[in-house]
Structure 1
Amino acid sequence: MRTAHRIALAGATAIGLSLSPGIAIATPDIGVTGKTIAQKTVAGKDYILREITIKPGGSTGWHYHDGTLHVLVKQGALTHTGPSCTKTQTYGVGSTFVESSGADHVHVGRNLGSTPLVLDVLYVNPAKSPLAEDVPNPGCVFQ
């Protein structure tokens, strides 16, 4: 009987946690693939060069980075929106920009075009940190 009780309690706890209000859910990426071109660690920093492709209608999901990113748009156009939902920038072929680090720089990248978006991205991260930290949508509604 103790085993059955534990299983029932665990199930009830899992259901309760999944229904609890206020639990934020990260937004997944849609139609994003990445390929690492080069990677090296120097003086406690990871330098990672990746080619990122986002399909038409795709999105990176909301996230931030622990390090600084240097981005080159090789193909298509990137629509980049920050947490205020009102500051949206579009970067076309040949554009470069820098994404600052930290949780106060939450953003989403979207491909609103009809062709694949291709980016070359140099991540300059603290050693062994993830490429991105997923976060929930800060409340933006896109048309």
Structure 2
Amino acid sequence: MRSAVLRRALVVGAVAVAWLGGLAGVSSATPGTGVSAKLLFQKTVGDKDYVVREITIQPGGATGWHFHDGRLFGVVKSGTLTHYDDTCSVDGVYRAGESITESGGAEYVHIGRNLGTTPMVLEVLYVNPAGSPLSRDADAPACDR
């Protein structure tokens, strides 16, 4: 039983890493670069999925434009995350020890970038509708083309 749970967690983590690395998704989407993720916890309670991951963005890397179906709560463990909204404006700069929240929905398209010289590590809690992906690719806004 334990090995089946571990195997499922590894598959989910591998899919998430592949997606964040830009290996899957819509061709018009903006793939991430220099991003890796490690699954730390996953549980479904009622109609919500609760997933905790550690996301690392290498210097010069970015998540790619995306949005979430649910809410996201994060804490920067190291480095600096620069966050842009769908107008390509910086709507937050988050340093080690600072927290970030993101609303859910296609109207909250955004991208995270590491403009620093050291890896940025973010621990994230996703609270999504059960069965939904952690994030969805989005086309780059006109301001980023």
Give the TM-score normalised by the residue count of structure 2. 0.79
Other structure's SS at 1:106 match = coil
Aligned partner letter, 2:32: D
- The answer to whether the aligner puts 1:45 opposite 2:52 as a matched pair is no
Q: In structure 2, what is the equivalent of residue 11 of structure 1?
A: none
Number of matched residues? 120
User: Aligned partners of 2:120 and 2:45: how far apart in 1?
Assistant: 30
- The answer to whether the aligner puts 1:133 opposite 2:136 as a matched pair is yes
Q: In structure 1, what is the equivalent of residue 29 of structure 2?
A: 26
The runs of at least 4 consecutive aligned structure 1 residues that moved more than 4 Å come to none
Q: Give 1:102 shift.
A: 0.2
Percent sequence identity over aligned pairs: 55
Pairing of 1:84-123 with structure 2 (within 5 A): 84-123=87-126
Aligned partner letter, 1:129: S
Q: In structure 1, what is the equivalent of residue 78 of structure 2?
A: 75
Q: In structure 2, what is the equivalent of residue 20 of structure 1?
A: none
- The answer to whether the aligner puts 1:65 opposite 2:76 as a matched pair is no
RMSD between aligned residues: 1.6
Q: Give 1:129 shift.
A: 0.5
User: Aligned partners of 2:42 and 2:91: how far apart in 1?
Assistant: 30
Give the TM-score normalised by the residue count of structure 1. 0.80
Q: Which runs of 5+ in 1 are unaligned?
A: 1-23
Q: In structure 2, what is the equivalent of residue 124 of structure 1?
A: 127
User: CA-to-partner distance for each residue in 1:4-63, whole Å, 9 max, x for gaps?
Assistant: xxxxxxxxxxxxxxxxxxxx8100010100011011100110000000000000000000
Q: Give 1:86 shift.
A: 2.4
Q: Give 1:121 shift.
A: 0.2
The answer to whether the 8 A contact 2:82-2:90 is kept is no
Which of the pair has more CA radius of gyration? 1
